[in-house]
Amino acid sequence: MTTDRPHILLVNPWIDDFAAYDVWAQPLGLFMLAGILRDQGYRLSYIDCLDRFHPRAPQSDPYARHGRGPYLKTPLNAPPDLGDIPRRYSRYGIREAWLHDDLAEMAPPDLILVTSMMTYWYPGVKATIAALRKAFPHTPILLGGIYATLCQDHAERTAGADQVIPGPIDGHLAGRIGQYLGAAARPAFDLEDLDAVPYPAWDLRRRLNYVPILTSLGCPFDCAYCASRFLQPRYRRRRPEAVVEEILFWHRTAGVCDFVLYDDAFLIGAEAHALPILEGIIRSGASLRFHTPNALHIRTIDSTTARLLARAGFHTIRLGLETAVRRQQDGYDRKVNLDEFVAAAGCLRKAGFTPQNTGAYLLIGLPGQPLEPVVASIEAVKAQGIRPILAYYTPIPHSRLWGEAVAASRYDLEADPVFSNNAIFPCQPESFSWEWLSRLKEMTRMAS
């Protein structure tokens, strides 16, 4: 192996927030890009500022709770104007000294690529870039990801990167990276063909205790509270056979048994996509577990689909209900109604799914949202033997609900993305009560 190939350091930054927990959270886009770059012959290094299994961290079983677990955290002062929030603001991830030591042991890379996720997590991104800049003052730093795409102007003013590159992974991005490295090489495959793109470089992780799987990019829906259409304008799917091949590759080569679907719409057009994938998994005979934190589309769950999900090893089922009140559904999305939810819940129960592994997301904290529909939705979900899971609304730039959120918020959402933090319920009025939230949480509990 030659050592004169350009060296790229990929970095997953810290999270600064009132709360954060690792619910199968991995920067998929960064690892997809890593797979492409490695295929082009670049040398890669990876630093995960959220690494729960860093050698200097308290060690825990990486397979407990099928890969989920708490991040290490360091208390911080809350951002200005958020000091009244009755929660502790912290930096989630490895200690700052550990990052400095890890960087000091590394030869200076030729290029650093930093990703970003939630818009309101940018303080952690900024701090990570500052640490990288201190360690490698002469290395260009590029910032991409969700925050960089949704809040490009803010990221360019604030984050400290040499260049902010918004948008999805495409030939344009590959060309930018090549320019920084003085290389004209472009991918030897068509980035538009999802089945031709190399697998994400998950082996760069310290512990490969689970693997995220993406069977499609984008979403066919245009829900008012979501910016998926802006982040991924086109909806594209992989061949079912290619998806099964990737799952079995990680199972055979790395012993992975837990897989996490990152799709926004896995069950859409199920006859031509999801069902052949499930049948392929079943035919393989592999003993696997699947988890769906991004939620499954309820309308397509019938007795056949539910039975196949169970046989294929789907262990954690999440449903995207959002609300069980029809007049609110029309305002947020048109994905499902209450009758369809009741029918799907019955099919899941019959297939053996229980409240312990089946939950339905209910949005709360929406602009002008009254308490009564939330209470009614909780009761409707529990009546079907499904666990209600409260999903706190995040105002997202470029979503259809953004303007309404800006008008309703008690903060200046347009001035600073930190005010979009769903933990502070930014679109609730000044009279918002944390006791109100505690009562709702209490209502979601299922009888044992």
Domain 210-443 sits in CATH at 3.20.20.70
pLDDT of residue 434: 84
CATH 3.20.20.70 maps onto the chain at 210-443
| Half-sphere exposure (Cβ direction) of 160: Cα atoms closer than 13 Å | 17
Give the chain's residues under pLDDT 50.
1-2, 326, 328-329
Fold of 7-180: Rossmann fold (3.40.50)
3-state secondary structure string across 222-236: CCCCCCHHHHCCCCE
CATH 3.40.50.2300 maps onto the chain at 7-180
pLDDT of residue 332: 56
What are 32-83's pLDDT values in tens digits? 999 999 998 899 999 999 999 999 999 889 999 999 999 999 999 999 999 8
Under 8 Å between Cβ of 225 and 363:
yes
> At 429, which amino acid appears?
P
Q: Which residues contact 233 (CB under 8 A, 6 or more apart)?
A: 218
Residue 272's closest CA among 247, 238, 301, 248?
238
pLDDT of residue 1: 38
Burial zone of 230 (CB within 10 Å; 0-12 exposed, 13-18 middle, 19+ buried): middle
pTM score, two decimals?
0.94
Q: Output the DSSP codes for 398-430.
A: TSTTHHHHHHH-SS-TTT-GGGG-GGG-TTS-T
Q: Output the DSSP codes for 232-254.
A: --S-EE--HHHHHHHHHHHHHHH
What are 96-136's pLDDT values in tens digits? 999 999 999 999 999 999 999 999 999 999 999 999 999 99
pLDDT of residue 406: 97
pLDDT of residue 126: 98
Under 8 Å between Cβ of 67 and 258:
yes
Sheet of strand 211-213, all strands in order from the earlier edge strand to the far edge: 211-213, 258-261, 289-291, 314-322, 358-364, 387-392
Under 8 Å between Cβ of 174 and 198:
no
Backbone phi, psi, residue 237, to 5°? -125, 155
For the chain, state the CA radius of gyration: 22
Residue 326's closest CA among 317, 336, 316, 318?
336
Under 8 Å between Cβ of 438 and 32:
no
pLDDT of residue 251: 98
pLDDT of residue 350: 97
58 DSSP assignment: P
Phi-psi region of 227 (alpha: psi -120 to 50; beta: other; left: phi over 0): alpha
C-alpha 209/C-alpha 203 separation (Å) is 10
